[in-house]
Chains A and B, each alone.
Chain A
Amino acid sequence: MKFCYEITGGDFSAGGSASSQVKKTLKQFNIAPQVLRRIAVALYEAEMNVVAHAWRGSMCVNINVDHLSVVVEDEGPGIEDIDRAMEEGFSTATEEVRQMGFGAGMGLPNIRKNSDEMELTSTPGIGTRLTLTIRF
């Protein structure tokens, strides 16, 4: 089963609605609450990254028998140095993002912590692609 959602850059009031939809859908399946939280947190962090940094993007989730695969792609400034972006505490977030309670440089490390597989690729000036696998 595959679902895709659009994400609008800069729209903080709608930020999180795609992850919310996925969590709602997954609740219908017999998934442990802790696994469901890991999925929801990873997706929400990824979605907020698009809202905070990119112009537009999409989140596609594919529900398989024993795992969830996720692709979050955006058109935006991209990431210059992925190794640095993965470091705890490194952030390029704006003041607006920080006022919303984010932008502390915890997002990508937290996505890695909550997923079983994570791959991040980016082309500066073009966009970023994040793929995740989370086993049920």
Chain B
Amino acid sequence: MKQMNVQQLNQLIPGTILLEGHASTLYTKAFASDLMSDVLRFQMEQTVLVTGLCTIQVLRTAEMSNITCIIFARGKRVSPDMLALAEEHHITLIESALTLFEISGRLYQGGLEPVYR
């Protein structure tokens, strides 16, 4: 199973790393969704969340699901209160102008796996 750190996975996109949380975490999976209810349904350890939803509840969802890296798609801008919550919980935040589809495609091609098959 392919493992990559934040720097390695960001090279596949590449986006802007706003905040680097746990630098040592290695990621093996990615999940793309704008629906937080669905994010909360699966095991999310070592998983990167790719989303076009940009609200404080995305950070809360990540915190509850043990997600430590979020990529915001379609040029969505992270607000200061989101940034503060991410800092508190050591969650890596990346912004990208690309679509959810293209980011997902690049991560898949780079070797990340889905959370289930």
* A-to-B contact residues, CB < 8 Å: 12-13, 15-16, 19-20, 23, 33-34, 36-37, 40-41, 43-45, 48, 99-107, 110, 113
Contact = CB atoms under 8 A, between A and B. Distances in A.
- Taking residues whose C-beta sits less than 8 angstroms from the other chain, chain B's interface range is 20 to 34
A40 B15 CA distance: 30
B37 A104 contact: yes
Chain B residues touching A, majority SS: helix
Contacts of B73: none
A90 B114 CA distance: 26
Interface of B: 34-41, 43-45, 53, 55-58, 60-61, 63-66, 81
Contacts of A16: 57, 60, 63-64
Contacts, number: 75
Contacts of B63: 16, 20, 23, 40
A101 B35 contact: yes
A113 B41 CA distance: 9
A101 B64 contact: no
5 contacts: A16-B64, A43-B64, A44-B64, A101-B57, A110-B40
A101 B33 CA distance: 9
Contact of A101 (B44, B45, B61, B81): B61
